[in-house]
Amino acid sequence: MSGQYTMEQEEIFSKVMRAGRRTYFFDVRSTKAGDFYLTITESKKFTNDDGSYHYKKHKIYLYKEDFNEFKDNLEEMINFVIKEKGEEVISERHQKDYKKETEEAPVVAAKAADETTPDTSNFTDIEFDDI
C-alpha cells in the first residue's frame, strides 16, 4: 500500500524547467492527511574526467502555510536583482566577449606595452640575398 501512496504523490502535478546544466523539478505532492505541498528540486549535471557524469540534487519542501511569504520574498529578491543589474545576463557562459575582472588587468598591461612598442605592421620582410 505504501508503494501506491508513493505513486499517487508523484502524479498530482509536475513541471520541469531546463536551464543549462541544471534542471528544476516542481512537484505537487500530498501529505498523509491529503493536503498538498510543493517540492522544488535542483538537479545539476557534473562530468567526470573520464567522460562519465553524475547528478547532484538539492530539494526544498514548501508547505501551504509558507506559500505567501515565500512568494513575497522570492518576488522581492527578483525585483531587487533586476533593479540593480537589469535583465541582461552577464556571465562567461552567456557572453562570448565576457572578461572577468581578474582577466582585464593583463589586457590593460598588454595595451600599455603596445603603446611603447613601435608598430611594425607596415614593415616589409626583406631577404638579404635580394640585396
Considering only the top CATH level, what class is 2-116?
A: alpha beta
**Distant-in-sequence, close-in-space partners of 8: CB < 8 Å, separation ≥ 6:** 30
Whole-model pTM: value is: 0.59
Tell me which DSSP letter residue 65 carries: G
Per-residue pLDDT tens digits of the chain, which is 131 residues long: 455 555 445 569 999 999 988 999 999 999 989 999 999 999 998 889 998 989 999 999 999 999 999 999 999 999 999 999 999 888 766 556 656 665 554 544 444 445 555 555 555 555 555 44
**How far is Cα 62 from Cα 27, in angstroms, rounded to an integer?**
10
Instruction: Give me the pLDDT at residue 7, please.
Output: 45
Q: What is the dihedral of CA 69, 75, 79, 82, to 10 degrees?
A: 140
